[in-house]
Structure 1
Amino acid sequence: MGKILAFDYGGKRTGLAITDELQIIASPLEGIDTKDIWDHIQRLMNSEKISDFVVGDPSMFGEATDSSAIIDQFCKDLAKKYPAIPLHRVDESYSSRDAMQAMVAGGMRKKNRRNKKNLDMVSAAVILQRYLETRV
């Protein structure tokens, strides 16, 4: 069984999270500049056995949002570049709020919570955890 790689995709930054090989635990991986996303994905594909992708879906109540178009395009590009890897979209509503609460509860210093890349990668882990919970 491979690992699941999750994305909290954004126009400027993207958060990445990954599971363990048993696909039980969702862990924040890194926050990156979106312009570098394809290099990071390829590096991870070379170093990890990735079985699935999970992408946060910004549609609120079935309605498109400001970021829906760029995320739709990212999903199309991801599926085209890696057609053998299943791609799952998960509702990302309130993932940033939940990520901030998790960082506070986990004792992360305020200075580190202000770093948007940290928020993005923890948001990706929240999205990934939601996906894992729906599979049960």
Structure 2
Amino acid sequence: MARLMAFDFGTKRLGIAVTDPLQIIATALTTIHPKDIVTFLNDYLKTETIDAFVVGEPKQMDSSPSESARHVDAFINLLKKQFPLIPIERMDERFTSKMASQTIAQSGLKKSQREKKELIDTVSAVIILQSYMEKRSFGF
């Protein structure tokens, strides 16, 4: 089995999370600038195998696409073009940033560490990935 990789896309930062090879545990990997994603993935794929990419899909409360959806669509198209053999799954990302902030606030980290936006992005990616794995395990 290979890993799953999730992305919390932002125009300034891209939070990335991965599973272990058995796809049991989701962990934060890193945060990078979106322009660096192809180089990052090419390097990562030299040593690891990815079964699928999971991309957080921004939605409004009524389930319609949010304003940032067009940026996510462009990101997905880039992934499809550069890595055509890796399937891409979309996962609703509503509330992930808020959940990430709450998780970080309860973590016991110092205030200066809790306020790092990069941390929120990677924890959001972990939540997206964990939600995807839970959804898949229940057969949805």
The alignment status of 1:70 with 2:71, answered yes or no, reads yes
CA distance in 1, matches of 2:134, 2:110: 28
The alignment status of 1:16 with 2:11, answered yes or no, reads no
Once the two structures are TM-superposed, the CA of residue 125 in structure 1 deviates from its matched residue by 0.3
Bigger mean CA deviation after superposition, 39-48 or 82-91? 39-48
Bigger mean CA deviation after superposition, 106-115 or 83-92? 106-115
**So what's the TM-score if we normalise by structure 2?**
0.92
Amino acid at match of 2:92: D
Q: Would you identify which runs of 4 or more consecutive aligned residues in structure 1 move more than 6 Å?
A: none
Question: Unaligned stretches of 5+ in structure 2?
Answer: none
**So what's the TM-score if we normalise by structure 1?**
0.95
CA distance in 2, matches of 1:109, 1:31: 20
Residue 67 of structure 2 aligns to a residue in which SS? coil
Aligned residues between the structures: 136
Amino acid at match of 1:110: K
Does the Cα contact within 8 Å between 2:38 and 2:82 map onto a contact in 1? no
1:94-131 residue CA offsets vs partner (Å, 9 max, x unmatched)? 10111111112222221112111111011000100000
Cα RMSD for the two superposed structures: 1.1
CA distance in 1, matches of 2:17, 2:105: 18
Amino acid at match of 1:94: F
